[in-house]
């Protein structure tokens, strides 16, 4: 009886929904990680599935705009760097699909939802890459914005997501540096090269600010996601951090950020900046961008062309299981 008395109530009886919720809330409040086998509220699970799937899709679709320049890189060095970078993005997608699968969803189903347009990916990848300067600006600004978004996710409450982010962030920092280094080199080049860089900055600056999502006032899910420890900062906080970080980098590079309202505000200790065109964001994220149809149709074609690989892998796995020791299937 003495041993029984030491056991918590949850071991003696089946815990009630209330007890499970209280235990979950206490773990979140104590900044403990939630792992796949732990009980979690359905809303927490479905929010994570949606967020991780969209993140995974963004990594995979994000290979396309830069992948377009692999065969046209201006030197072997640039080609090797770009190949490594695009390949990293495929890896990020795989870590994230694997993290989503720990929540009981199937990667094949998530891919199906992407190619049928039922799940979204970051709107940034629906803009075209017009010159090789775009490769540099994507590394500097788009991967830079991704870092701002993802570093706090290393402390996300869901274990597999947070652990995937640690490695992803290390690789993103290489992506950002390779982009900035490419731009430094181009800015030290000919007037035509400098014009290419400025043109790319003009086209990518505003879409990069949109990567943080709608303003806090129009982001109804933010409060709950922060309460659950899935998100650690609001969209507007992250956007401000990105602007403050990018301004001195733009000065060092010698480019102008295309925003006449951009100015240091000594009182706030931050840069003020102009209004983001949220109508454009809504249009692009819901399918009206320049490249939405092309991105999804290419992804669908790649998936269909890869069907034989999946079939062969499944057949091999089935054969292997049939002969495995101690496996009676």
Contact 184, 254 (CB under 8 A): no
- What tokens does 231 get? 């998100």
Interface mask toward Fe ion for 153-192; x: CB under 5 A: -------------------x--x-----------------
Nearest one of 64, 60, 58, 213 to 121, comparing CA atoms: 58
Q: Which one among 89, 134, 233, 259 touches Fe ion, defined by CB under 5 A?
A: 89
In the DSSP assignment, the letter for residue 72 is G
Contact between 271 and Fe ion per CB under 5 A: no
d(CA 35, CA 51): 17
Q: Judged by CB under 5 A, how many residues of this single chain contact Fe ion?
A: 6
In the DSSP assignment, the letter for residue 155 is G
DSSP H stretches of helix in the chain? 2-6, 9-12, 17-29, 42-61, 63-67, 76-101, 107-115, 133-137, 143-150, 159-187, 191-210, 222-227, 235-253, 278-283, 292-305, 307-323
Contact 186, 136 (CB under 8 A): yes
Q: Give the interface segment with Fe ion, choosing from 89-97, 155-163, 204-212, 304-312 (CB under 5 A).
A: 89-97
Q: Which one among 55, 57, 78, 92 touches Fe ion, defined by CB under 5 A?
A: 92
In the DSSP assignment, the letter for residue 264 is E
Q: Which is nearer to Fe ion, 194 or 299 (CB)?
A: 299
Contact between 143 and Fe ion per CB under 5 A: yes
Minimum CB–partner distance for residue 55 and Fe ion (Å): 9
Q: Which is nearer to Fe ion, 172 or 233 (CB)?
A: 172
Q: Give the interface segment with Fe ion, choosing from 4-12, 43-51, 81-89, 130-138 (CB under 5 A).
A: 81-89
Instruction: Tell whether the torsion through CA atoms of 283, 284, 290 and 293 is positive or negative.
Output: negative
Contact between 55 and Fe ion per CB under 5 A: no
Contact between 233 and Fe ion per CB under 5 A: no
Q: Which is nearer to Fe ion, 175 or 241 (CB)?
A: 175
Q: Give the interface segment with Fe ion, choosing from 17-25, 31-39, 90-98, 113-121 (CB under 5 A).
A: 90-98
d(CA 255, CA 274): 18
Q: Which is nearer to Fe ion, 169 or 210 (CB)?
A: 169
Interface mask toward Fe ion for 7-46; x: CB under 5 A: ----------------------------------------
Query: Which residues contact Fe ion (rule: CB under 5 A)?
Result: 59, 89, 92, 143, 172, 175
């Amino acid at each position: 009886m003495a041993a029984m008395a030491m056991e918590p109530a949850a071991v003696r009886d089946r815990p009630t929904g209330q007890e499970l919720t209280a235990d979950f809330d206490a773990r979140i409040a104590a900044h403990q990680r939630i792992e796949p086998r732990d009980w979690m509220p359905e809303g927490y699970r479905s929010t994570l599935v949606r967020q991780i799937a969209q993140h995974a899709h963004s990594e995979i679709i994000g290979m396309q705009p830069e992948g377009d320049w692999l065969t046209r890189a201006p030197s072997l060095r640039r080609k090797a760097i770009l190949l490594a970078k695009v390949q990293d993005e495929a890896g990020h997608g795989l870590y994230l699909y694997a993290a989503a699968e720990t929540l009981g969803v199937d990667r094949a189903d998530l891919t199906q939802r992407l190619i049928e347009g039922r799940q979204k990916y970051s709107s940034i990848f629906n803009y075209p890459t017009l010159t090789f300067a775009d490769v540099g600006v994507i590394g500097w600004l788009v991967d830079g914005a991704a870092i701002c978004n993802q570093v706090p996710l290393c402390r996300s409450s869901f274990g597999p997501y947070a652990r995937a982010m640690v490695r992803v962030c290390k690789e993103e920092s290489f992506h950002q540096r390779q982009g900035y280094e490419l731009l430094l080199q181009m800015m030290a080049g000919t007037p035509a090269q400098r014009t290419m860089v400025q043109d790319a900055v003009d086209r990518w600056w505003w879409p990069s600010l949109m990567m943080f999502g709608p303003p806090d006032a129009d982001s109804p899910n933010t409060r709950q996601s922060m309460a659950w420890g899935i998100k650690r900062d609001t969209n507007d906080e992250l956007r401000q951090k990105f602007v403050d970080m990018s301004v001195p980098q733009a000065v060092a590079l010698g480019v102008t950020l295309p925003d006449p309202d951009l100015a240091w505000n000594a009182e706030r200790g931050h840069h003020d900046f102009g209004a983001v065109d949220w109508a454009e964001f809504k249009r692009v994220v819901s399918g009206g961008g320049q490249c939405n149809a092309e991105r999804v149709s290419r992804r669908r074609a790649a998936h269909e062309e890869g069907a034989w690989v999946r079939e062969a892998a499944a057949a091999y796995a089935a054969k292997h299981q049939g002969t495995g020791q101690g496996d009676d299937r």
